[in-house]
């Protein structure tokens, strides 16, 4: 039978801010008891980046016990896998984050009949050898990831998404856990979320099928499309320019009724063939 000391157990108030929950769940200085639903929805998503499952055991009475180790434990494993013939000097230099190796562990008990989750420090577990921000540098919590995904799906630029997520997270009391959020990560998450939606914009292996697919795509969207090919003869050689021109009937109508080409501009390297995109601007008011 599991012996549970109840005297020192803390039942955190339901209205704690995420940052406060985050702190409690990082250090686990005293056992915490949290209603199961609250744990799943509001606690675990905040710390999923700090703790990784070490083992799991289902007891006869249906309760589940899982031990979790700090994510920074992994760095110890990778550094001990160093090649043996590497000199001590070299090893000291190449070792990954030596100051942050961490052996902190927690034990989490799902007390099914009470619908309570009990979190306690693993027996003799040392303190973390690092701050909670170090954990956050390694991996993003589920809570932050969800915030980023919700913004990324709206398809604006990664820097703007990063700013929006920071502001939003601060309002939610999650400010600390987004302070390490990097633009690069936001880009990656955005790619994961948006990638499948934009798969029709990814190129094929050859120019010919890329062009024909682009044309089909534009025609499907109601554009007029034409191919062109122009040869330039000079005394030394013959060069050629090719491309496609596309315009929507509403744009052509504007050109017809206003008649003024105000500006023509080109953008370099808009695809992997380094084609240029020329845009024609018409003033319509
Ligand atoms: Zn740690």
192 Cα–ligand 1 center, Å: 28
SS3 state of residue 232 = strand
128 Cα–ligand 1 center, Å: 4
18 Cα–ligand 1 center, Å: 19
Closest CA to 129 of 91, 178, 72: 72
Q: Per-residue pLDDT for 192 more than 90?
A: no
51 Cα–ligand 1 center, Å: 8
Q: How far apart are the first and last CA of the chain?
A: 81
99 Cα–ligand 1 center, Å: 11
Helices (H) and strands (E) in the chain, counts: 12, 9
Rg (CA), the chain: 29
35 vs 154: which has the higher pLDDT: 35
Residue 57: predicted pLDDT:
94
Q: What angle do CA 153, 158, 161 make, to 5 degrees?
A: 65
CB proximity list for 221: less than 8 A, separation 6 or greater: 248
127 Cα–ligand 1 center, Å: 7
Mean pLDDT of the chain: 81
> In sequence order, what are the beta bridge partners of 63?
none
Instruction: Please state the domain extents for the chain.
Output: 1-132, 140-198, 203-282
pTM value is: 0.57
Q: Per-residue pLDDT for 116 more than 80?
A: yes
Residue 82: predicted pLDDT:
45
Q: Which tens digit of pLDDT belongs to each residue from 126-174?
A: 999 988 888 888 788 888 888 899 888 887 888 888 889 998 888 888 8
Q: Which tens digit of pLDDT belongs to each residue from 214-228?
A: 888 899 999 999 988
Residues with CB under 5 Å of ion ligand 1 are 70, 72, 102, 104, 128
The model's confidence at residue 6, banded by pLDDT at 50, 70 and 90, is low
The model's confidence at residue 203, banded by pLDDT at 50, 70 and 90, is low
């Amino acid at each position: 039978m599991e012996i549970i000391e109840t005297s020192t157990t803390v039942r955190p108030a339901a209205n704690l801010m995420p940052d406060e929950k985050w702190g409690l769940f990082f250090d686990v200085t005293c056992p915490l008891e949290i209603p199961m639903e609250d744990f799943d929805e509001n606690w675990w998503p905040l710390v999923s980046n700090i703790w990784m499952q070490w083992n799991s055991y289902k007891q006869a009475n249906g309760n589940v016990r899982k031990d979790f180790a700090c994510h920074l434990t992994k760095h110890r494993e990778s550094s001990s896998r160093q090649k043996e013939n590497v000199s001590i000097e070299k090893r000291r230099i190449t070792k990954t984050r030596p100051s942050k190796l961490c052996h902190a562990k927690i034990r989490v008990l799902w007390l099914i009949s009470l619908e309570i989750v009990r979190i306690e420090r693993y027996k003799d577990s040392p303190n973390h050898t690092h701050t909670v921000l170090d954990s956050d540098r390694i991996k993003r919590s589920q809570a932050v990831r969800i915030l980023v995904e919700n913004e990324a799906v709206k398809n604006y630029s990664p820097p703007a998404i990063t700013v929006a997520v920071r502001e939003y997270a601060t309002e939610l009391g999650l400010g600390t856990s987004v302070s390490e959020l990097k633009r690069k990560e936001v880009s990656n998450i955005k790619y994961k979320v948006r990638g499948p939606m934009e798969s029709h914009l990814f190129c094929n292996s050859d120019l010919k099928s890329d062009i024909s697919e682009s044309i089909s795509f534009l025609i499907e969207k109601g554009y007029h499309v034409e191919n062109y090919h122009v040869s330039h003869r000079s005394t030394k050689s013959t060069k050629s320019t090719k491309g496609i021109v596309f315009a929507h009937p509403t744009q052509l109508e504007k050109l017809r009724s206003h008649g003024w080409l105000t500006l023509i501009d080109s953008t370099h390297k808009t695809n992997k063939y380094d084609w240029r995109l020329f845009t024609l601007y018409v003033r319509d008011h």
